[in-house]
Amino acid sequence: LAKFSLSDYEEAIDDFSVALEIDSKFISAFYNRGIAKNLLSGYVGAIEDISQAIEIDPNIPEAYYSRGRNKIELGDYYGAILDYDKAIELNPDYIEAYNSRGRAKHNITEYAGAILDYSKAIKIDPDNAELYYNRGISKFELGEKDGAYSDWKVAGEQGYI
């Protein structure tokens, strides 16, 4: 982890690989190696490693969230939504998963679903300006201009825009 925390991701990947040679069920090594690969834009490899971590322990919401983020990078919005669904199932207060699922839904023009996700996240964290901003974008796409402007106003008041 030292090399990882020093942003030496290639060396960190090597160290995590060595750890996995010693213990092939070392969840943290799979997960962190996946994160390091993501930071080097190795999205396919990141998905493979994080999937291995999930196979060992399917009850880690952060793993589904992280795998979903990598799927987004590859344009797999539907796959990402499924991962965010599972992350939220495991942690119903996972604001980042709601926000990311909302963005994924927005990208596939499922604006009403995106608005619902942003609204759920806002109920959990009403001071998160990014959520209002994102919800405003989806509302605007649906033609709900007054609602969009209202959300953007809140985002602006909170210093987001």
- Structure confidence at residue 68 (pLDDT): 98
**pLDDT by residue, tens only, the chain of 161 residues:** 667 777 788 989 999 999 999 999 999 999 999 999 999 999 999 999 999 999 999 999 999 999 999 999 999 999 999 999 999 999 999 999 999 999 999 999 999 999 999 999 999 999 999 999 999 999 999 999 999 999 999 999 999 97
pTM, rounded to two decimals: 0.92
What are the angstrom distances between the C-alpha of 129 and each of 99, 107, 125, 140, 157? Answer: 11, 20, 9, 17, 8
- Structure confidence at residue 1 (pLDDT): 63
- Structure confidence at residue 121 (pLDDT): 98
Nearest to 64, CA basis, from 88, 44, 40, 45: 88
- Structure confidence at residue 105 (pLDDT): 98
CA distance 75 to 53: 22
